[in-house]
């Protein structure tokens, strides 16, 4: 017996689109490497005890002049093995991206459903709120939230909270596209017969929204989620450039790139190249996959 | 209403960013001086009083003096606005022009090698953070090739109430790299939208009719299909203008572009509260205006919306 | 000791050069805050104002005091409380007005007025008097042998111009004030302000009636000053030839700049020491042995080698070598010794280490955050689990001086070139008007008394003995872990002959082309 998914149009098309297959597998490999970073990574760069400053700026595949150690992708300014640091940094970036998208999705879908289904004043208030939110583009919102959180939290908590703050600030700034799309789709769905009959059966609003409307509007949400995921990872990088990212002792991919760009002119190309390439591959594969997904799920373009 | 909320958010939030006193007084200040300064700035008043003061003066377009630059904030912002607006407009024009051109090209030549290449490589542009693209452009075109300037606006001409870089060679050259950096995201967005709209329009009946009437490809693409896709494309591009202003913060930082974005980021670093608040109000104001214009254009263009509007008001 | 300085250290006669038009495009990380010469006491502000305004005395490239608007000076032999200055004759302000003793009295009083940030430096002054048109007396409250050290950034303004433009007092930034002098200038300096756009571009042109025409090379006819904050962009601008000279070259780009055709580096020790401060009152760092262990667990050599790429001068005392009181013995730093450090930790009862937060700026000193990061790794070697909290200086300084921090980074420059300046801010018990940058909790009544006594001690050798005694106390208490003195690097075109000034202030009348 084959799983029904293997016989679906989606899977059939997927198999026949090399770019979709390729991007999906690139993404998969990156994710797997991040998850198993503990096993794959030859060093433990987040463990300060294991670092030796004298290893700093070792080029890839060359022995360090003081310690003689050889590193696959070289080391950064603190003597961290770049390959290992990228793997652990990926973990942070993926986690931040994933959680931020999840948060944005939950907020956006909920508000969008309510706005579209309930309508009236509630709709106006929510969508007005969305307008205000979009007045402040994502990086501005993130900077604001970050500023408040840093001000309110005690100094020793700040460190632990920095990732959470990133997630919340990116998540909060990206919910509007979800809400707008879901609201639009809900407006269409709610006029359909199955919703009307569910209403006549006396089902409660939340039940109708979650059980009946939600499954029918999931595909555009999925597409937005993919694109937002890539966006969230890049926003994290941008925020670290503006000085509001994760601490440099436990760098994310974005923080690594921010550090690396300082060494662009000085000849230590590997400190920028490898993290940037990883981010590029990651975001590109998500975007390409998201593209394909949108083409598939959007019947208008077939 | 929107502006009031924006003002509240912008004001209250920045009370938490840091303490401006240390930046103003510098290292040598004594405790007594610090207390005196906090008093003078009104920083030890209750926060709602500070906010009220701020609102009252904001309405009068009176934001006080910048803590750092010791110049009136309104004057500072007005003197920086031309730089940002010129950059934003140039990058928007760049984004829309190339976006539409490439979008049409890739729609017409769907599936061709060049189209696929354009589509995938445009994704590279949005898969890297803006600051990195800026630094890479500086590295290639300023440091290695030495073709284009790496910072600033070049020679600007002062028109009294406006300074422009459009009228000098060095001003125009200085615009190129920042505009590309800022416009790349826009361009990709517009291109993909144009392509999608174009593909859809080309399937419409009236286009088929046009083909059957024997019109040339060119005539069909540019006189029949293009006008129909322009409206949604320009709407989206217009709405994106808000994020262009935000991303200008990064572009302006990388290229030392003397606009309001750079002013804002410096204000954040120096905890210059009047400048930060005024900037956020400005962004809020700009967005409300853009929204209004877009809404009005919708109604003007689409008669159905106009009717709806009338109906719902009844 | 303080006799007349008849021959200035730098006095080179150049007569031909100023004829040709030579523009210098100058960039550094930050812009001046205001052009009002007394409203701010801050590096970039003084550096720009130095081109336009003159002070009575100035520091040359080695940091020695040389004449400027005063030709010579001395304390009166019968009354050490009074300093007499002979003023240079024939000096004209940019607007054509003559410079005389009235202007000096006016300017010094202006610098002592409310709203001035320079007034602390003049706090010992009782009165400034004009003796005749080109002689003035400064009377101090007690004898102040080091008064002239405080006058090198004290700029002279024209009394009439200031009265005409209603700028007889500095604008008080604290009160949100601004005035005509914020954007307009009238000095006696080598350059005149042509145009200024804050954070963007400031243009200066050579002063045709400059009094120092024959004293300095004066080959620069125009200065275009553009602040560039992003270090990558600043270096790019130099590499691509868009600017001629930059301050603040990032250490990683020094190699690239010096190996590029047509570019060169000028390097000199800076008057600024970098160190880590510790809480001596609470927590594990209140144990002297813990502080001693931390001090020898810092590998200053590898910080110099890797983080600073050789561009630092490791030290064992929080005092740059320019400062009166500096000795080779104090400067000697302890050997990096992990075993001894671990033993000290064990003796203090912390063999299993402890947790601590290190507060660090990330936009203030050269590679500040990277140094802190390296310190995190080094502390881990003796079991101390350090959490790094790096922030922009606007947020770091309140923490570093507020006493919230147990472990923090700070840098200290000494504009008076005397130990007292360090003691008064970093060693004296934190009180209303002293010890404002000493949040370590270190408090020693004897030391405090000695610090205060320095201010009125006229016997210089007795004074120096007291300074040495205070330093011995500081070194024993170990509330600061010295790291290094910074090294200044200016990147410039090869055809420029220019020395680095230890206060990081280029004085462009000294610049020569070759």
Same domain membership, residue B33 and residue B98: no
Distance CA B249, CA C133 (A): 54
State whether B139 and A138 contact (CB < 8 Å): no
State whether C233 and B255 contact (CB < 8 Å): yes
Domain final residue, candidates B11, B34, B59: B59
Same domain membership, residue B82 and residue B23: no
- A:B CB pairs within 8 Å: 111
- For the stretch A224-241, pLDDT in tens is 888 889 888 888 888 888
The model's confidence at residue B17, banded by pLDDT at 50, 70 and 90, is: very low
The model's confidence at residue C18, banded by pLDDT at 50, 70 and 90, is: very low
Nearest C-alpha neighbor of C212 from the set C50, C360, C445, C385: C50
Chain B contact present for C227, CB below 8 A? yes
Same domain membership, residue B77 and residue B53: no
Contact C399, C408 (CB under 8 A): yes
Q: What is the pLDDT of residue B313?
A: 37
The answer on pLDDT for A43 being more than 50 is yes
Question: Is residue B312 assigned to a domain?
Answer: no
Mean per-residue pLDDT, A181-201: 82
The pTM assigned to this predicted structure is 0.82
C contact test, residue of A54, A147, A157, A262 with most C CBs within 10 A: A262
State whether A148 and B13 contact (CB < 8 Å): yes
Which chains, if any, share at least 3 CB pairs under 8 A with chain C?
Answer: A, B
Chain B contact present for C114, CB below 8 A? no
- B-chain residues within 8 Å CB-CB of C426? none
Same domain membership, residue B82 and residue B55: no
Tokens of B309: 């509007």
- For the stretch B300-312, pLDDT in tens is 655 554 454 444 4
- For the stretch A154-169, pLDDT in tens is 655 666 677 888 888 8
Which residues 187-226 on chain B approach chain C with CB closer than 8 angstroms?
A: none
Task: State how far the alpha carbon of C165 is from the alpha carbons of A101, A206, B177, C45, in Å.
Answer: 59, 71, 43, 21
Chain A closest CA to B128's CA: distance in Å? 6
Chain B closest CA to A4's CA: distance in Å? 30
Among A136, A147, A301, beta carbon nearest to B14: A147
Residue C278 CB coordination number (10 Å): 27
Same domain membership, residue B44 and residue B8: yes
Same domain membership, residue B98 and residue B45: no
Mean per-residue pLDDT, B159-181: 83
- A-chain residues within 8 Å CB-CB of B136? 264
SS3 C227: strand
Q: Which residues of A touch C (CB under 8 A)?
A: 47-49, 51-54, 56-57, 77-79, 150, 155-156, 158-159, 243, 247-249, 261-268
Distance CA B156, CA C200 (A): 11
Chain B contact present for A300, CB below 8 A? yes
Among C33, C239, C431, beta carbon nearest to B69: C33
Chain C closest CA to B260's CA: distance in Å? 11
What's the mean per-residue pLDDT of chain C? 87
SS3 A102: helix
Contact A235, A142 (CB under 8 A): yes
The answer on pLDDT for A140 being more than 80 is no
Question: Is residue B65 assigned to a domain?
Answer: no
Same domain membership, residue B199 and residue B136: yes
- For the stretch C390-434, pLDDT in tens is 887 767 877 777 767 899 999 998 888 899 989 988 999 988 778
State whether B31 and C40 contact (CB < 8 Å): no
> Is pLDDT larger for residue B110 or for residue B18?
B110
B268 Cβ contact list (under 8 Å, min separation 6): A143, A147, B17, B276, C392
Same domain membership, residue B77 and residue B55: no
Question: Is residue B123 assigned to a domain?
Answer: yes
Chain B contact present for A133, CB below 8 A? no
Say which CATH number the domain at B179 has.
1.10.3720.10
Point out the least confidently predicted range of B60-69, C105-114, C420-429: B60-69
Among B5, B124, B242, beta carbon nearest to A284: B124
Chain B contact present for C239, CB below 8 A? yes
Among B149, B254, B270, beta carbon nearest to C394: B270
Mean per-residue pLDDT, A82-103: 91
Domain final residue, candidates B36, B59, B82: B59
Chain C closest CA to B246's CA: distance in Å? 18
- B-chain residues within 8 Å CB-CB of C398? 18-19, 21-22
**Residues listed for chain A:** 302
Q: What is the pLDDT of residue C129?
A: 93
Share of chain A above pLDDT 70, in %: 89
Chain C closest CA to B254's CA: distance in Å? 6
Share of chain C above pLDDT 70, in %: 95
Chain A closest CA to B268's CA: distance in Å? 9
Which residues 137-166 on chain B approach chain C with CB closer than 8 angstroms?
A: 138-139, 142-143, 146, 149-153
Q: What is the pLDDT of residue A249?
A: 81
Among B15, B129, B242, beta carbon nearest to A135: B242
Chain B closest CA to A2's CA: distance in Å? 32
Q: Which residues of C touch A (CB under 8 A)?
A: 231-232, 235-236, 239, 250, 252-253, 255-256, 299, 302-303, 305-307, 357, 359, 362-363, 369-370, 373-374, 376-381, 386-392, 395, 399, 404-405
Question: Is residue B127 assigned to a domain?
Answer: yes
Same domain membership, residue B104 and residue B55: no
State whether C232 and A261 contact (CB < 8 Å): yes
Question: Is residue B77 assigned to a domain?
Answer: yes
Same domain membership, residue B79 and residue B19: no
Q: What is the pLDDT of residue C297?
A: 94
State whether B135 and A152 contact (CB < 8 Å): no
Share of chain C above pLDDT 90, in %: 54
State whether A279 and B127 contact (CB < 8 Å): yes
The model's confidence at residue A147, banded by pLDDT at 50, 70 and 90, is: low
**Which class for B44: exposed (0-12), middle (13-18), buried (19 or more C-beta within 10 A)?**
exposed
Tokens of A23: 């991007």
Same domain membership, residue B225 and residue B168: yes
Question: Is residue B314 assigned to a domain?
Answer: no
Chain C contact present for B176, CB below 8 A? no
Among B68, B149, B254, beta carbon nearest to C230: B254
Nearest CA in chain A to C359: A155
Question: Is residue B66 assigned to a domain?
Answer: no
Question: Is residue B109 assigned to a domain?
Answer: yes
Mean per-residue pLDDT, C343-354: 92
**ipTM of this model?**
0.81
Task: State how far the alpha carbon of B44 is from the alpha carbons of A94, B14, B34, C432, C488, in Å.
Answer: 42, 15, 12, 19, 40
The answer on pLDDT for C301 being more than 90 is yes
Tokens of B81: 């606005």
Chain B contact present for A264, CB below 8 A? yes
Contact C279, C480 (CB under 8 A): no
Same domain membership, residue B288 and residue B178: yes
The answer on pLDDT for B219 being more than 50 is yes
The residue segments making up the domain with residue B52 are 2-59
SS3 A266: coil
- C-chain residues within 8 Å CB-CB of B271? 394-395
Chain B contact present for A254, CB below 8 A? yes
State whether A267 and C362 contact (CB < 8 Å): no
- C-chain residues within 8 Å CB-CB of B269? 363, 392-394
> Is pLDDT larger for residue C12 or for residue A15?
A15
Number of structural domains (chain B) is 2
State whether A265 and C399 contact (CB < 8 Å): no
Angle at Cα A45 formed by Cα A44 and Cα A51, nearest 5°? 100
Rg (CA), chain A: 23
DSSP codes, C314-383 = E-SSSS-TTSBT--HHHHPPPPP-HHHHHHHHHHTT-TT--EEEEEEESSSSTTHHHHHHHHHHHHHTTT
Distance CA A258, CA A276 (A): 10
B contact test, residue of A130, A137, A141 with most B CBs within 10 A: A137
Chain C closest CA to B14's CA: distance in Å? 12
């Amino acid at each position: 017996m084959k799983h029904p998914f293997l016989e679906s149009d989606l899977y059939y098309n997927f198999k026949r689109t090399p770019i979709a297959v390729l991007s999906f597998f690139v993404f998969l490999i990156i994710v797997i490497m991040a998850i198993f970073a503990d096993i794959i990574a030859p060093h433990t760069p987040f463990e300060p005890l294991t670092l030796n400053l004298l290893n700093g700026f070792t080029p890839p595949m060359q022995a360090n002049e003081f310690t003689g150690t050889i590193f696959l992708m070289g080391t950064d300014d603190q003597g961290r093995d770049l390959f290992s640091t990228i793997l652990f940094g990926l973990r942070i970036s993926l986690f931040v991206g994933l959680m931020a998208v999840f948060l944005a999705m939950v907020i956006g879908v909920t508000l969008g459903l309510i706005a579209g289904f309930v309508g009236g004043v509630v709709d106006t208030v929510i969508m007005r709120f969305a307008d205000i939110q979009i007045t402040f583009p994502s990086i501005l919102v993130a900077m604001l939230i970050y500023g408040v959180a840093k001000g309110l939290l005690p100094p020793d908590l700040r460190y632990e909270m920095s990732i959470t703050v990133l997630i919340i600030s990116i998540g909060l700034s990206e919910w509007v596209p979800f809400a707008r799309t879901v609201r639009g789709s809900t407006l269409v769905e709610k006029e359909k017969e199955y919703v009307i009959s569910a209403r006549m059966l006396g089902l409660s609003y939340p039940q109708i929204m979650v059980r009946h409307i939600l499954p029918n509007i999931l595909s555009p949400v999925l597409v937005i989620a993919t694109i937002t995921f890539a966006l969230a990872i890049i926003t994290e990088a941008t925020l670290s450039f503006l000085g509001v990212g994760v601490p440099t002792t436990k760098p994310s991919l974005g923080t690594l790139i921010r550090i690396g760009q300082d060494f662009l002119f000085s000849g230590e190309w590997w400190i920028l190249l490898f993290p940037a390439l990883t981010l590029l591959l990651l975001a590109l594969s998500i975007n390409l996959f998201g593209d394909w997904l949108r083409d598939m799920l959007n019947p208008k373009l077939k | 209403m929107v502006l009031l909320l924006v003002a509240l958010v912008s004001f209250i939030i920045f009370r938490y960013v840091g303490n401006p006193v240390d930046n103003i007084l510098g290292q040598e200040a004594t405790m007594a001086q610090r207390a005196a300064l906090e008093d003078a700035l009104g920083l030890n008043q209750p926060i709602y009083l500070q906010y009220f003061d701020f609102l009252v003066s904001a309405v009068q377009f009176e934001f006080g003096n910048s803590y750092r630059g010791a110049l009136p904030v309104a004057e500072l912002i007005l003197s920086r606005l031309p730089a940002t607006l010129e950059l934003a407009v140039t990058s928007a024009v760049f984004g829309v022009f190339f976006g539409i051109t490439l979008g049409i090209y890739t729609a017409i030549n769907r599936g061709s090698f060049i189209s696929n290449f354009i589509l995938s490589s445009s994704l590279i542009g949005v898969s890297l953070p803006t600051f990195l693209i800026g630094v890479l452009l500086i590295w290639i075109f300023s440091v290695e090739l030495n073709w284009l300037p790496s910072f600033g606006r070049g020679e600007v001409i002062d028109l009294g109430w406006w300074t422009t870089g459009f009228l000098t060679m060095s001003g125009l050259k200085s615009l190129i790299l920042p505009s590309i950096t800022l416009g790349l995201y826009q361009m990709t967005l517009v291109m993909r939208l144009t392509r999608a709209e174009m593909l859809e329009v080309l399937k419409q009946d009236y286009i088929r009719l046009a083909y059957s009437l024997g019109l040339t490809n060119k005539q069909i693409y540019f006189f029949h299909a293009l006008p129909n896709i322009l409206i949604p494309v320009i709407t989206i591009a217009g709405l994106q203008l808000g994020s262009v202003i935000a991303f200008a913060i990064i572009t302006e930082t990388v290229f030392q572009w003397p606009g309001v974005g750079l002013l804002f980021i410096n204000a954040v670093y120096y905890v210059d509260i009047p400048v930060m608040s005024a900037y956020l109000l400005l962004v809020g104001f700009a967005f409300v205006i853009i929204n209004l214009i877009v809404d009005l254009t919708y109604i003007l263009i689409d008669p159905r919306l106009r009717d709806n509007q009338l109906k719902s008001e009844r | 000791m303080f006799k007349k300085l008849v021959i200035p250290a730098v006095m080179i006669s150049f007569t031909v050069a100023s004829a040709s038009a030579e523009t210098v495009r100058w960039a550094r990380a930050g812009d001046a805050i205001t052009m009002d010469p007394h409203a701010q006491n801050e590096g970039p502000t003084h550096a720009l104002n130095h081109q336009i305004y003159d002070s009575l005395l100035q520091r040359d490239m080695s940091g020695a005091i040389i004449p400027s608007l005063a030709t010579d000076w001395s304390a009166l032999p019968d009354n050490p409380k009074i300093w007499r200055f002979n003023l240079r004759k024939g000096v004209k302000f940019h607007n054509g007005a003559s410079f005389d003793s009235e202007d000096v009295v006016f300017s010094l009083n202006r610098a002592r007025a409310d709203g001035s940030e320079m007034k602390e430096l003049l706090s010992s002054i009782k009165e400034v008097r004009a003796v005749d048109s080109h002689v003035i007396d400064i009377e101090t409250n007690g004898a102040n042998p080091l008064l002239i050290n405080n006058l090198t950034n004290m700029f002279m303004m024209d009394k009439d111009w200031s009265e005409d433009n209603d700028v007889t007092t500095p604008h008080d930034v604290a009160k949100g004030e601004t005035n005509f002098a914020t954007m307009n200038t009238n000095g006696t300096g080598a350059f005149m302000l042509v145009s200024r756009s804050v954070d963007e571009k400031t243009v200066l042109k050579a002063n045709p009636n400059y009094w120092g025409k024959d004293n300095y090379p004066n080959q620069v006819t125009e200065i275009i000053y553009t602040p560039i904050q992003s270090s990558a962009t600043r270096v790019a601008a130099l590499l691509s030839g868009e600017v001629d000279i930059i301050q603040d070259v990032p250490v990683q780009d020094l190699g690239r700049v010096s190996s590029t055709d047509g570019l060169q580096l000028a390097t000199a020790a800076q008057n600024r020491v970098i160190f880590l401060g510790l809480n001596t009152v609470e927590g594990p760092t209140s144990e002297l042995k813990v502080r001693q262990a931390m001090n020898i667990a810092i590998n200053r050599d590898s910080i110099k080698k890797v983080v600073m790429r050789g561009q630092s001068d490791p030290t064992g005392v929080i005092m740059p070598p320019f400062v009166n009181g500096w000795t080779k013995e104090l400067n000697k730093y302890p050997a990096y010794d992990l075993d001894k450090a671990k033993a000290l930790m064990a003796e203090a009862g912390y063999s299993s280490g402890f947790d601590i937060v290190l507060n660090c700026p990330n936009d203030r000193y050269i590679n500040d955050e990277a140094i802190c990061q390296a310190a995190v790794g080094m502390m881990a070697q003796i079991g101390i689990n350090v959490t790094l909290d790096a922030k922009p200086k606007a947020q770091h300084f309140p923490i570093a001086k507020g006493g919230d921090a147990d472990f923090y980074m700070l840098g200290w420059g000494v504009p008076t070139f005397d130990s007292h300046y360090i003691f008064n801010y970093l060693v004296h018990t934190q009180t209303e008007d002293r010890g404002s940058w000493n949040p370590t909790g270190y408090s020693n009544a004897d030391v405090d008394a000695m610090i205060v006594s320095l201010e009125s001690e006229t016997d210089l050798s007795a004074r120096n003995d007291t300074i040495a005694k205070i330093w011995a106390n500081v070194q024993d208490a170990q509330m600061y872990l010295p790291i290094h003195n910074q090294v200044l690097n200016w990147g410039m075109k090869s055809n420029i002959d220019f020395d680095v000034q230890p206060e990081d202030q280029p004085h462009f009348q000294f610049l020569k082309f070759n």
